Structure 1
Amino acid sequence: MKSVTVIGASLAGLYAARALRAQGYDGHLTIVGAEPHRPYDRPPLSKEFLTAPASAEGDADPAAEGPLALTDTEELAGLDAEWLLGTRATALDTRHRAVRLDTGRTLTTDGIVLATGAAPRRLPSPAPDGSHTLRTLDDARALRADLARGGPTRVVVIGGGFIGAEVAASCAALGHQVAVVEAAPLPLVPQLGESMAELCARLHGDHGVALLTGTGVRGLRAGADGRVTAVELADGRLLSADVVVTGIGVRPATDWLEGSGLPLGDGVRCDAGCVTPIPAIVAAGDVAHVAGARAEHWTSATEQAATAVHNLLAGRTARTHRALPYFWSDQYGVRIQFAGHRRPGDVPRIVEGSPDDRSFLACYERDGRTTALLALNRPRPFARLRRELARAAQPAPTG
């Protein structure tokens, strides 16, 4: 290949570019990113970045300098890439491997890495001033500025998943009055199972955050000035609000690929090697639906990128992605870590610590075998058992 284009300049896109150079590709490399910023780390946006005063940035772009930065000037020079930031891909001609951009330019390339990530889902009702989603650096800046408008603020977070819980924890740490609305009877049951999800849900009450479950949201109300004043719940209740944050999940960013001929459905559908039916086109990160599943976690994005690039350069699926699922979340000073493949019916057993202390390690078991791990503030033993679980999950050597 003489030219490769990476569509997406966030985590998966950056790691794909790194992998291309590390695996010996020395041709022309173009990286297209919809945001104007250099690649930056998203997890801190709902935590440290949100709670830091805006003045802490100074004149620097936090995506280029400081704890959010994923790369630096020296590495950028070493990647020897053409960066097209603040530029969106609008269409893909798979036959000619041509990418059309919103600038009017068309890139014709030998290989393509799709790493466009995902976009936040939004409420169907209009979004008045004071209502936010949190996905990008600019989203986080806008929310932080709104929270700093003056005095304690009534914050309603819609969605009790990891992003919602992290935002709630950050807002509570800033001294705001916070309520979390979750449509399900309990947050995080699909990920953790009912008993462990219940233990994690208690963190909200521990820190004075109201958790309202089992009800959806009918819409947002606004005052004469166009600013949000309340959240109307599906059961008719009204929650007063000065700021609303919606965290009800994401959808893969594939709209621009409609009509391309690539198989779409909850992402770009790939085989176990992150390869689409066209070997010169691969996908990684939140946009990739790999072998029947799509992962929305930091670790998956980095690991898939290396696999996708290996197969892109090989021209076929020469390697498959077999990493053990892993994710983490920081809430109210508690680090929650999870690894493995939990299925309904797997039984969690606490092997260390105590739920009463909000510090424990639990193993999920099925037929006498450990399938997954959950830890609250037990990073070292979790890391050890995670390594053991990863080794056990590797396929047995053949021959």
Structure 2
Amino acid sequence: MTEQKQDTTVIVGGGHAAGALLANLLQQKYQGTVVLVGEEPYPPYQRPPLSKAYLSGETDQKALLMKPLSAYESAGFQIRLGVRVDSIDRANRCVSLSDQSTLTYDRLVLATGSKVRRLSAPGVESTGIHYLHDIADADHLRDALAAGKRLVIVGGGYIGLEVAASATKRGVKVTVLEAAERLMQRVTGPQVSAFLHDKHTRAGVDVRLGSAVKGFKIGHQGHVEGVLLANGECVPADVVLVSIGVVAETDLAEAAGITCDDGILVDQYVRTNDPSILAIGDCTRHRNLFFDNTQRLECVSNAVDQARTAAAMLTGENKPYDSVPWFWSNQFGVRLQMVGLSAGHDQSVVRGSPDSETFAVFYLRNSHVVAVDAVNMPLAFMVGKKLVARRATVDAQLLADIEFDIKSLA
């Protein structure tokens, strides 16, 4: 009797989505051959702490790892680190690596993640200007943030504000430059933006809205000395962090002819247009029950949920991805938890008071709860996840009434 051939699954990438997929396959005792190819020298790790606990020195590299390398190797999984997938040969189902080797696959999973959006401005290539995406970036930035240094952060989104809080705790003088009219404008409503603005300002961060960057002032040694604004002002700087978002890492997929559109297009089973290739995490653009259109989500919850769907597909189970997206951020002791997508809401309801630093904002569209932003109010977040999942219709007055037990709505 001939032994049945085991399927080979090759995973490209070493971020949270790849790590979550490995964890699911470990849990299910997957019997196929698994090979992960990661360009960084670390097994899959968590990126969110890079701008928070890791940057502030409260945690170390070991704590970032989703699992120790030995956990994968004990299960027979092959982890190829420090090597890059250069190309995909779909016809022959194989990938070529940067070390000149090749791997054949039965199923290929692209977990290539994202890359930082680069700023195009005179002087941007000078020393002292940083981006934050991986462990090496965080190490370089942390080494530069000595107490008393002047850090200018270009961008007032999640990462920029988290770094502002972490750096302030280290005694760094921080200025945040945001081109929009409010902080985190793309992802939250005016009430939360105003609260975060006040929180950072009271902690000593110099927050400047409507501040577009046109270039950098460079010293004689080629090191940045300031950030030049469109209004002609120069903001002095010893260190600069550019944090203006990310773009999906789709180069490998596009070169292989896989359909992409600001992300690798996948269906509810995380399948690409090639039936043998799946894609998960930040690199994907997808549709689920909570979106009117396809979306690209840059969050851990999406990576974990899509990884779960991919694991199901690899083990012969069709389990669609239909999870409610959620996000979180920690800044100056504030726990911000967000669920759903507030874009397109026609009503917002505040529960509690921003002055107390314990409140939530419920976003409604046609009386249906579509998103919740909760500040130090975990109950509102947990109830909100269920309301958004059910597309519940809720009386706005009940949501606003702090005496009303919102647990009854769940």
- Greater alpha carbon shift after TM alignment, 85-94 vs 201-210: 201-210
Q: Deviations over 1:237-296 (max 9, x none)?
A: 110000000110011112233321101121111112211011210011101111211110
CA distance in 2, matches of 1:267, 1:279: 17
**Matched position secondary structure for 1:155:** strand
* C-alpha distance after superposition, 1:83-128 (max 9, x if no partner): 1111111111122221111111111111001001111111124321
Aligned counterpart, 1:100: 96
Q: Cα offset for 1:201? A: 2.5
Give the match for residue 346 of structure 1.
Answer: 346
Aligned to 1:305: 307
The residue aligned with 1:132 is 130
Q: Which amino acid aligns with 2:92?
A: H
In structure 1, how many angstroms separate the alpha carbons of the residues matched to 2:68 and 2:303? 20
2-side partners of 1:201 and 1:146: how far apart? Answer: 25
Amino acid at match of 1:16: L
Matches of 2:64 and 2:134, distance apart in 1: 12
Task: Give 5+ residue unaligned stretches, structure 1.
Answer: 394-399
For 1:269, the equivalent position in structure 2 comes to 265
1:396 match? none
Equivalent of 1:237 in 233, 244, 252: 233
* Aligned partner letter, 1:237: E
Distance (Å, rounded) in 2 between the aligned partners of 1:196 and 1:332: 14
Give me the whole-angstrom Cα distance separating, in 2, the residues matched to 1:302 and 1:345.
26
The 5 A counterparts of 1:243-282 are 243-282=239-278
How far apart, in 2, do the equivalents of 1:152 and 1:276 lie?
50
Aligned positions of 1:28-177 closer than 5 A: 28-52=33-57, 62=61, 65=62, 67-125=63-121, 126-148=124-146, 151-177=147-173
Q: Deviation of residue 235 (structure 1)? A: 2.1
* Deviation of the 1:79 alpha carbon: 3.4
Q: Which amino acid aligns with 2:15?
A: S
What is the TM-score of this pair, normalised by structure 2? 0.88
Which residue is 2:23 aligned to? 18
Determine if the alignment matches structure 1 residue 208 to structure 2 residue 190. no
**RMSD in angstroms over aligned alpha carbons?**
1.9
2:359 is paired with a residue whose SS is strand
CA distance in 1, matches of 2:250, 2:75: 27
Distance in 1 (CA, whole Å) between partners of 2:69 and 2:161 is: 34
Q: Work out the CA distance in 2 between the residues paired with 1:197 and 1:273.
A: 35
Q: CA deviation at 1:386?
A: 2.2
Q: Distance in 2 between matches of 1:52 and 1:24?
A: 36
Q: Secondary structure at the match of 2:73?
A: helix
Please tell me whether the aligned partners of residues 193 and 344 of structure 1 are also in contact (alpha carbons under 8 angstroms): no
CA contact (8 A) 1:18 1:79 kept: no
Give, in whole Å, the separation in 1 of the partners of 2:242 and 2:114: 15
Aligned pairs, number: 379
Aligned partners of 2:270 and 2:321 also within 8 Å: yes
Letter of the structure 1 residue corresponding to residue 186 of structure 2: P
Measured against aligned partners, the alpha-carbon deviations of 1:323-377 in whole angstroms (never above 9, x if no partner) come to 11100001111111110232324322122x2111222122112233222111111
1:210-229 correspondence runs (5 A): 210-229=206-225
- Give the whole-Å Cα distance in 1 for the aligned partners of 2:383 and 2:321: 22
Distance in 1 between residues matched to 2:356 and 2:9, nearest whole Å: 51
The answer on whether the counterparts of 2:339 and 2:384 sit within 8 Å (CA) in structure 1 is: no
Partner of 1:323: 323
Conserved? CA contact 1:280–1:312, under 8 Å? no
Residues in 2 aligned to 1:375 and 1:258: alpha-carbon distance in whole angstroms: 38
**Partner amino acid, structure 2, of 1:162:** Y
SS in 2 for 1:258: helix
Q: Which runs of 5+ in 2 are unaligned?
A: 1-5, 288-293, 393-410
User: 5 Å matches for 1:278-297?
Assistant: 278-291=274-287, 292-297=294-299
Distance in 2, Cα, partners of 1:370 & 1:155: 39
Higher deviation after alignment, 305-314 or 293-302: 305-314
Q: Deviations over 1:198-227 (max 9, x none)?
A: 233222212111111223211222211111
Percent identical: 35
